[in-house]
Structure 1
Amino acid sequence: MLDAHAPARWQSLRPDLVTPNAEEAAALLDTSVGTDRAGSFVDHRAELMARTGAGAVVVTLDKDGTVLLVDGKPAHRTWAVAVPENRCAGAGDTFVAALTAAVLDAMPLTGAVEFAQAAADVVLRSPGTSVCRCPELRARLGGEGSGVLSRDQFVATVRRERASGARVVFTNGCFDVLHAGHIACLNEAKNLGDILVVAVNSDSSVRSLKGPERPVNTAGDRCAVLAALSCVDHVTVFDEDTPAELLRATEPQLYVKGGDYSPEMLPETAVVTEYGGQVRVLDYLADHSTTTMIDRIRGRVGER
């Protein structure tokens, strides 16, 4: 792993991972970087990887979080907590230190950058120069003070976000075993607005939809994992088969679902259209589904 002001100088070493900041990454490119810095770096992924010789690039974007670029895989964003500039001291060093620890522990890169962002967020929440200590990091990753809300809190929070002028993106699902397809969709959804809110099917709702052997993970665990993702701002649980009533109560500007659906297939489309919102179907990431993953795991256990 390489963290250097001029990563191109180390190209011949073929590092596994480089972590330039936005200014350093821009200096590697011949073209200018637009206002959508993350999008610009995603567009120039091949050039960044070629000029650094790296297998993966994480560009740190200060207040805009980070973007992870790996050849052949969807780009992965993290989002930093919004804080005043005087609270940013040390966050970049904390991010790189935590990322290094996670990579050395063989954590998958998407998980590693989320872990590192959580550590940086701990520092960002403290005034002045600070360090991330284990108790605070455990609390951040364990859901304490996270975005998991009761139904009433969720409705009030979404209404408040909309009233403040934020563009709210709403999605829902079981999220029983979180996988790469979920992560890609959630990242894409976050990119479409300012606030991403997620409604999670309750355990009884999952059983109604998926059968008596589901869910594998309880609603509390599923919500905690989602809330730990930097792209997710608020999470709640709903008991119905669809989130139609929550949509009516919150009226988010954008309702999104994964690419294995179409707007015509969604019973929620009529509700969203009625109050003037938009429905968007996200890109489909093939060969990623919770059911397939569970079947594969059970098959391997049965072979032993």
Structure 2
Amino acid sequence: MRITVVGDLLLDVDINGTATRLSPDAPVPVVDVADVRRRAGGAGLVATLLARDGHEVTLVTALADDDGASHLRLALAGVSVLAGAPLAPTPTKTRVRIGTHPMVRFDQGCAPAPVPSSTGEMLAAIGSADAIVVADYGRGITANTDIRSALTDAARHVPVVWDPHPAGSQPVEGVAVVTPNLSEALASAKAAGLEGACAGAEEAGRHLLDKWGSRSVLVTRGEDGALLLPAGSPPQAIPAPATNVTDPCGAGDRLAGSLATHLGRGLDLWLAAARAVEDASAFLAAGGAASLAETVPPAVAAEPEPGQAPTASPVVELKGLELVDATDLRPDGIRLARSVRDSGGTVVATGGCFDLLHAGHARTLAAARSMGDCLIVCLNSDESVRRLKGAHRPIVSVEDRAELLLALECVDAVVVFGEDTPEDCLRGIRPDIWVKGGDYTPEELPEARLLAGWGGRCVTVPFHPARSTSGLAAALAKVS
């Protein structure tokens, strides 16, 4: 799905450490820094999460030319960024934590900013999206008149989810859902002089529904879930699953992105909202926004010299999936598979070493993709290939093999596994169809019984003779 995120970028920095003593200079704790983590915040977090879900994401925003922006560009690999000039520095929020306990937060460059410019390319991205998320963080992008006009036009054709901010702009009329939290809704109602009559979320939500002219308002209430108020219909309470939350940061971003995705797939409003609440709860249970950050050891965490880009982390972004030192990517594959199934689609998977891609591989992958709505490739890790093929293999590293596979239009996600067989991978993905090339029948495949356990089936595609990795490697050896 093509999703455009419109909103303000922030750089979030987490400094994590321990404190076992007080400073001799003042009665304050001394924090021994264990690591520094940087991530894209604000609209950048929404875009990052959607890209990790496997969507084609374009971020319409403003981006400065400073050190903070350099870190953001690294964090947003896998997202197409279209940016106007912000005329302001990158807003940076630095949180210091002792264990899981927040100690202090420093804000830099967060003063009110002038309205940034826009380009024709930015406006075109809004007009061509299948769904739109507006992540307003009060930095001016939603005040740009051309962008507001483009959003008004888009809201007539595709779902637009608007996550508002107290210092931001009023949502344009006709958006599908506006998602204020309870405190924001109550504050807006109070500012309008409704304090006496406003007893809670429903009254505040009704006030905002009339004020904004949206099709619905979803008031989020933390652990109490959310209250959905569709225009002209009774309110509907949506409970949240019980979740042990250590850091609530990013819950609203996860909810807004998921809500736009579910609406874009054609789910009705209540079901889309209920699933978005579930997604936000699951996100927090997995660690929230802090779990997505790039970790930098203290020894290399110093700011770069002026004009110098920060040192790249050992993270390779591939179509929104992170491949970190060839570690397992199963959570991303699982999320993609689940989202396709939730929309009524068919999940197809195949697997192998894919060492030296050749025409036989390409034909098999293309045939597999034609059988469903997404293709997930289960890829043997380097260690797994060595055990199966011998010490001289693989010829190509897992990072490069994954990148080459993802460069193929027919491949939607790559999952790296370290075992000799992909059974554990398949249990997580639970594909509807498992595709292999060969001259045997589907029933002979060792994975057939496993897939039958959840109603899946195995399919074989024709084997292409004279096309193999061994044959290609032998031919290359003759010319080397």
Normalised TM-score (structure 1): 0.51
Pair 1:249–1:144, CA change in 2 (3 A): closer
Pair 1:259–1:129, CA change in 2 (3 A): same
Q: Which residue matches 2:406?
A: 227
Measured in 1, the distance between the counterparts of 2:81 and 2:124 equals 8
Aligned residues: 174
4+ residue runs over 2 A deviation: 81-84, 121-124, 126-130, 142-149, 259-266
Q: CA deviation at 1:268?
A: 1.0
Q: CA deviation at 1:123?
A: 11
Q: Which residue matches 1:292?
A: 471
Residues 378 and 416 in structure 2, CA contact (< 8 A), matched pair in contact too:
yes
- State, as a whole percentage, how many aligned pairs show the same letter: 41
* Aligned partner (choices 414, 417, 427) of residue 238 of structure 1: 417
Opposite residue 435 of structure 2, the aligned amino acid is: V
Q: CA deviation at 1:282?
A: 0.9
Measured in 1, the distance between the counterparts of 2:320 and 2:464 equals 28
Which structure 2 residues correspond to residues 135-150 of structure 1 after superposition, within 5 A?
144-147=318-321, 150=329
Q: Which residue matches 1:161?
A: 340
Measured in 2, the distance between the counterparts of 1:163 and 1:273 equals 20
Structure 1 or 2: larger strand share? 2
Q: Which residue matches 1:250?
A: 429
* Aligned partner (choices 441, 454, 466) of residue 262 of structure 1: 441
Q: Which residue matches 1:282?
A: 461
Opposite residue 271 of structure 1, the aligned amino acid is: L
Q: CA deviation at 1:299?
A: 2.9
Q: Which residue matches 2:353?
A: 174
Q: Between Structure 1 and Structure 2, whose CA radius of gyration is higher?
A: 2
> SS at 2:396's partner residue?
coil
Which structure 2 residues correspond to residues 32-71 of structure 1 after superposition, within 5 A?
none
* Aligned partner (choices 373, 382, 389) of residue 194 of structure 1: 373
Q: CA deviation at 1:251?
A: 1.3
Q: CA deviation at 1:247?
A: 1.2
Normalised TM-score (structure 2): 0.33
Opposite residue 190 of structure 1, the aligned amino acid is: R
Residues 167 and 253 in structure 1, CA contact (< 8 A), matched pair in contact too:
yes
Cα deviation, 1:42-98, whole Å, max 9, x if unaligned, reads xxxxxxxxxxxxxxxxxxxxxxxxxxxxxxxxxxxxxxx8799xxxxxxxxxxxxxx
Q: Which structure 2 residue ranges, 5 or more long, are not aligned?
A: 1-54, 59-78, 83-120, 126-315, 324-328
Measured in 2, the distance between the counterparts of 1:273 and 1:220 equals 32
Pair 1:212–1:260, CA change in 2 (3 A): farther
Pair 1:196–1:127, CA change in 2 (3 A): farther
Structure 1 or 2: larger helix share? 1
Pair 1:127–1:192, CA change in 2 (3 A): farther
Q: Which structure 1 residue ranges, 5 or more long, are not aligned?
A: 1-80, 85-120, 131-141
* Aligned partner (choices 138, 148, 151) of residue 330 of structure 2: 151
Residues 143 and 228 in structure 1, CA contact (< 8 A), matched pair in contact too:
no
